[in-house]
Structure 1
């Protein structure tokens, strides 16, 4: 009887089920439809209040969705070197999760130093998988601001001084991240080149310099990398804050480059409702440090793009055209990320990710000097190795600002060496100096107790005494991520090493000729002791696998192949921002607190300046040694005369003339021999990394098109390639030019 009743009930509901099946499925939920069609359908279903709610934060790191329509929240996370630990809804304090540790990847200066686009893709893929696993749909990175001064506390998060190199490295990083259904949010757009007065600095720069130096990496990120998000910078340009800047956001980014993603404010970078409405901002985040401030139960409602925006619309003072444009971009972001059914699942703290972190570190470490081939260390001949310096033991993944991480682990350089040597050679340690013994940022604590109350003299005496009987001495120092060093919201006081490290190094050099200096930093440092030491290694901030990556280079398991992504000057006076006395700018006298910074050096940043002024830097852009040697043959070209729009290819034979496998980075610079406007002596326009076995030779070919010959004519507001004579320079660095070829543009 029960069976008969069930069948009867089923028949009663058949018409209802049939009607339900005939109901039209919303297009925005139909993944077979084009994204733009889905965007318009979803837009048509939103109320005014729901639209406004999408454009501003609802917590420290998220913005609202539309539960009624199944549109999820947008969750962002700081990168660009790892996935930030969870914080409380309204505060920066830790949320107390036990499963939000991550892999700490090397800093972006290290990635840039690899000059390896496949390594950049691996980096993006790996960090994107970590973000996806934590269900984030926007990674706040990478950064591509140009290295204008070595004092910038945030240089370690960027990709060096050359716009071409930064552009080539950022594109595969973005593609790797976004393959996981996570948006890369490229930052900080634009002209964010130092941290002092970062909220009040107004940059004064000519259009030509803007387009040739400070925009190309961002343009590559948008037009080639297809970045889904861009973050505005704190500073001002043309007296408008860059998070709502008509010229940068509407004219260039969304106009000239056809950017179809979202523009996100930096946290606290929004200052005015009207400008935020009109001048290109799409999503406002972090306009107050504490979401519960200003006497409101929910301060997010009072954000510039929240109730103030809604009220202006209701009063008829502004229309909804700009709002609809913002919401289209936000919906497009959702369909690309957490509403994409093909989105992969990601992975967190996997063996593959730790392996990637190690490989990236190994690829980016730069061997700057190696007298008498003291490196690699021969453990068969060495009985005692002395390691000196705080940076040999100090955790570097905590600190530095928003890129601070809660790493699952961080292997120190000292422990990495001990692990690799594994008792065959005695590894001793002496502190040498005390820098910053603390280790905490935003509630993440390293747990290290690095306090040492001994006097500087006692520390040096101990290290020197131990150095006299060591076969090798490795000093591991440099900067750290404390305020006033490599750290967000502060700049360095000078070029010198802090904590009187120069004194320690010189004392060690006098005690032992086999002294190897490892500089850990994201910036250039002065080296007044350079001629007194055998070897110098630039090691960057290497993340979780720091100890393994550094040990593999020092002990020769991996042949170093990194090259500098920025120039090391001998002194600040060799840096144009300081030589011309334009850093950090001049405060206005009108009481506005605005600081004007004039980029009077124009195009001549980094090696462009040293070339122009005929300065021999401490270490040039593109410099990096190997444990083997490379011989360059005579360069050739497929054509000596080209027409506008034609590509031209330059080829050189490179041979490994040493006794071990190694990789060389062949660099192509272009020189315009006669131009109607002043141009740099040469500019990087191509590079290729080639791996060679001992005795092996390969042809390396680099192709460029007319863009590589062009300059930006600001009087015409267009790129121009003038007919005439050019020269291609093939080299191992910006100063180590191996061959030249002249060619002509008709």
Structure 2
């Protein structure tokens, strides 16, 4: 009986897809057809209600497919540092799964600090495999907003202050993820450079700064990376919310850049039905993100692009042209991802991914200062190591906002050092201070309880006692992912270290001069004791393998090769956003008075010496630069110019150097930075080895954006190419002309 029913069902199904008696799939299910044809076929079969269902959420992280047509739901997941744990359908609380513990990768500040496009590709491939295994359609990341101020709570999710570096590092990440049939959703477009009043602040910025500083990474993500989705930002621009902004989404994204993908609203970023219809948005998520507490039986049906949109269409107030365009883009996304039969299966929580994360972490760690060669720690001469600081034991894969992760495991700096050192030396620990003892953030419960009832005086006294008996002290401090630190939702309150760490460091120095400070953060911090501390390491948020990666660098198994992607100012007023006096704005408005002079551009312009410069990073070996040469003295508009420099490892161990090319326009009709990064290459060298590094640029590297003409302009005249180990350490330069 059952077989007969099944046979009849198959006959009916086949007959509905047949021509002249031969079974034939609908065009939208035939993956031999061009995606454009498949999209049009699927669209023609959909009802108005089914189309409306696709453009807004049906749960916290999903939007509806069309079951009748076999089109699956679209599932989003937070990134960009790991795959978020599953949450309940209508709540932020965890769903209680036992198999959703991910590998936590280093934060994007660390990835960018590798200055290595191969590491970016590895990162994207690995996290893409994790997302695919969990059957996610879209990874909400990576983030490429510009580091404008060290107080921005979300800087740890981004790639630094320089648009060129961010653009070059984001493209391999995108390609790595999307080769797994998972879309990247590059965020937050655009001008999302602070958390203070993030939902309502209106950003005033001139077109030149917009195009030269804040848009290049997004443009590269689209035109070079071919990202399949973009996320709008919470803030306003030109008085309109960026999630439905005519100028950003329609004029620039679609018309100027030719973006064919989906624009996704940040969760809670939609505020108006009419603007959401006409101003470039495709998918609405997270409206009323406090859950289902707004007094309606189904909050999702009452989203701006749900029943209100449907009612406007049925009443004739709007047509269906915009709706069809939105659905076309969403269908295209589906055909590229969850309807792609060749989509790989992915893998999750694997040793391979953990080791990839460790490799990225090791390359991204930055050696900022190394007086008297205190690092690497010489285990042949060191008998006792004192590890001090809460960040040596605190889990950092949790917290920080939407990027909070339920990691499969996390190796702390203390455990990493103990594992690596073993019986070679004694490792003793003292906490030193209590910062945040909580173990629950953003619905993720770490299970770690760091409660300590001792007074600050008792904690300091213990730390000093331990330091006095050690050969070397490793202080692991910095920030954490709590509110008002490196965390979504709030900006930092100042540049200084929290929890009275400066006083503790000063007292420890009195007890033991052999101190190494490891700064765990995604942001610059003030260091009033910088001249007294011989060793300083930027340790970032390193993910699952944090402790192992950090230990490998501290003891010299790995030669550090990371370089800073943002400037460490001595004091907050050295930063342009604060020097100009407008951060974080007032009366709902913030004006970027510094224009294009962000980060090292401002320090160069004002001749302000930074604490540590953009591009800075030391090694356990030394490098010697030869004289840079150019393959021609004059560059024409349609030509390219190649710069060549020899770099030699003059030390005693293998190491990698990042060769940085900056371009200086010696005479311009508009004010320009003293120099701008326009090329870089990372090169590995054995002791005594010399390699030739070549970097090629074209007219685009010499151009600025003329806001009056609304076009990129490269003015004929004299230029210089500067090769350096950082923005403040130029080794060699050569002159050339643009004809």
TM bucket (normalised to shorter chain) is: over 0.9
Structure 1 residue 511 displacement after superposition:
1.2
Residue of structure 1 in register with 2:188 after alignment: 188
Q: 1:660 aligns with which of 653, 668, 677?
A: 653
Match for 1:635 among 600, 623, 628? 628
CA distance in 2, matches of 1:440, 1:79: 19
In the TM superposition, residue 78 of structure 1 has moved relative to its aligned partner by 0.1
Task: Note the 1:551-630 alignment, pairs <5 A.
Answer: 551-587=551-587, 595-630=588-623
The Cα shift of 1:442 comes to: 3.0
Native 8 Å contact 2:402 2:442 kept in 1: no
After TM superposition, give the deviation of residue 179 of structure 1 in Å: 0.4
Deviations 1:638-679 (A, max 9, x none): 011110021110000000000000000000000001111110
Partner of 1:591: none
Question: Is 2:439–2:447's contact at 8 Å kept on the other side of the alignment?
Answer: yes
Partner in structure 1 of residue 380 of structure 2: 380
**CA displacement, residues 335-389 of structure 1 (integer Å, 9 cap, x when unaligned):** 0000001100000011110000100100100000000101000111111000000
Would the alpha carbon gap of residues 671 and 316 (structure 1) be closer, same or farther in structure 2, given more than 3 Å must change?
same
User: What does 1:322-341 correspond to in 2, within 5 Å?
Assistant: 322-341=322-341
1:443 CA drift (Å): 3.0
- How far residue 290 of structure 1 moved from its aligned partner, in angstroms, is 4.3
Whether 1:733 and 2:726 are equivalent positions in the alignment is yes
> Corresponding residue for 1:73?
73
> Which of 657, 665, 680 pairs up with 1:687?
680
Are the equivalent residues in 1 in contact too, given 2:117–2:169 (CA < 8 A)?
A: yes
The CA distance in 2 between the partners of 1:23 and 1:255, in whole Å, is 41
- Measure the CA separation in 2 of the matches of 1:430 and 1:516: 15
Say if 1:181 and 1:374 are closer, same or farther in 2 by CA, change over 3 A: same
Aligned pairs for 1:210-249 (under 5 A) are: 210-249=210-249
Alignment of 1:327-406 (within 5 A): 327-406=327-406
Distance between the aligned counterparts of 2:392 and 2:382, measured in 1?
20
Q: Where does residue 532 of structure 2 map in the other structure?
A: 532
SS at match of 1:601: coil
Aligned residue for 1:722? 715
The residue that corresponds to 2:422 in the other structure is: 422
**SS at 1:513 equivalent:** coil
1:174 paired residue number? 174
Q: Partner of 1:158 in structure 2?
A: 158
Question: Distance between the aligned counterparts of 1:423 and 1:503, measured in 2?
Answer: 32
CA contact (8 A) 1:291 1:300 kept: no
The reply to whether residue 707 of structure 1 matches residue 700 of structure 2 is yes
So what's the TM-score if we normalise by structure 1? 0.97
Secondary structure in structure 1 of the residue aligned to 2:544: helix
The CA deviation at 1:37 is 0.8
CA distance in structure 2 between the aligned counterparts of 1:160 and 1:686, rounded to whole angstroms = 16
Contact 1:94 1:442 in 2 (8 A): no
2:30 counterpart residue number: 30
The residue number in structure 1 matching 2:469 is 469
Tell me, in whole angstroms, the C-alpha distance in 1 between the residues paired with 2:646 and 2:131.
42
Partner of 1:502: 502
Q: 1:534: Cα distance to partner?
A: 1.1
Q: Which runs of 5+ in 2 are unaligned?
A: none
2:131 corresponds in structure 1 to 131
| Worse-matched range after superposition: 461-470 or 440-449 | 440-449
Please state whether the residue corresponding to 1:271 is helix, strand or coil: coil
Deviates more, 1:456-465 or 1:667-676: 456-465
Superposed, 1:54-73 pairs within 5 Å as: 54-73=54-73
- Counterparts of 2:589 and 2:513, CA distance in 1: 48
User: Is the 1:90–1:290 contact (alpha carbons within 8 Å) kept by the matching residues of 2?
Assistant: no
State the Cα deviation string for residues 130-149 of structure 1 (Å, max 9, x = none): 00000001000000000000
Spell out, residue by residue over 1:248-305, the C-alpha distance to the aligned partner (whole angstroms, 9 max, x if none).
0000001100000000000000000000000000000000124433222211000000
Match of 2:47 in 1: 47
- Report SS of the residue matched to 1:381: coil
State the distance in 2 between where 1:612 and 1:439 align: 44
Q: Tell me the residue number matched to 1:590.
A: none
Mapped partners of 1:556, 1:64: distance in 2 = 52
Contact (CA 8 Å) 1:59, 1:291: kept in 2 or not?
no
Contact 1:729 1:739 in 2 (8 A): yes
Following the alignment from structure 1 to structure 2, what is the Cα–Cα distance between the partners of residues 150 and 549? 25
Superposed CA offset, 1:671-700 (max 9, x none): 001111110000000000000000000000
Runs (4+) off by over 3 Å: 13-21
Shift of 1:240: 0.1
Q: 1:259 to 1:388 in 2, by over 3 A?
A: same
| More divergent stretch after superposition (455-464 vs 37-46) | 455-464
Unaligned runs of 5+ in 1: 1-5, 588-594
Following superposition, the deviation at residue 453 of structure 1 comes to 1.6
Partners of 2:14 and 2:24 within 8 A in 1: no
CA distance in 2, matches of 1:699, 1:15: 65
Are 1:673 and 1:727, in contact at CA under 8 Å, matched by a contact in 2? yes
Q: For 2:87 and 2:256, locate their aligned partners in 1 and report how far apart those are by CA, in whole Å.
A: 38
Asked if the contact 1:115/1:665 (under 8 Å) is kept, the reply is yes
Say whether residues 1:485 and 2:489 are aligned partners. Answer: no
Q: Secondary structure at the match of 1:743?
A: strand
| Equivalent residue number for residue 314 of structure 1 | 314
Residues 716 and 420 (structure 1), Cα distance of their counterparts in 2 relative to 1, 3 Å cut: same
Counterpart of 2:643 in structure 1 is 650
Deviation at 1:532, TM superposition (A): 0.9
Preserved CA contact (<8 Å) 1:361 1:549: yes
Change (3 A) 1:20 1:547: farther
Q: Deviations over 1:693-728 (max 9, x none)?
A: 000000000001110000001111100011001100
Q: Tell me if the contact between 1:291 and 1:298 (Cα under 8 Å) persists in the aligned partners.
A: no
> What SS does the aligned partner of 2:126 have?
helix
Distance 2:128 2:12 in 1: 46
- Residues 509-562 of structure 1: per-residue CA shift (max 9 Å, x gap): 111121000000000000000111110000000000000000000010000000
Equivalent-residue separation in structure 1 for 2:604 and 2:20 (angstroms): 73
Question: Take 2:291 and 2:301, find their aligned partners in 1: how far apart are those partners?
Answer: 9
CA contact (8 A) 1:640 1:743 kept: yes
What secondary structure does 1:584 align onto? coil
SS at match of 2:694: strand
Paired position in structure 1 for 2:669: 676
The 8 Å contact of residues 438 and 450 in structure 1, kept in 2 or not, is answered as yes
In the superposition, the TM-score normalised over structure 2's length comes to 0.97
1:515 matches 2:515: yes
Alpha-carbon RMSD? 1.4
Query: Counterparts of 1:676 and 1:19 in 2: how far apart (Å)?
Result: 68
In the alignment, the residues of structure 2 paired with residue 567 and residue 122 of structure 1 have an alpha-carbon distance, to the nearest angstrom, of 26
> How many Å apart are 1:502 and its aligned residue?
0.4
DSSP-derived class of the 1:90 partner: coil
Aligned to 1:86: 86
The residue that corresponds to 1:592 in the other structure is: none
Asked if 1 retains the 8 angstrom alpha-carbon contact of 2:369 and 2:536, the reply is: yes
Q: Does the CA-based 8 Å contact 1:227-1:261 persist in structure 2?
A: yes
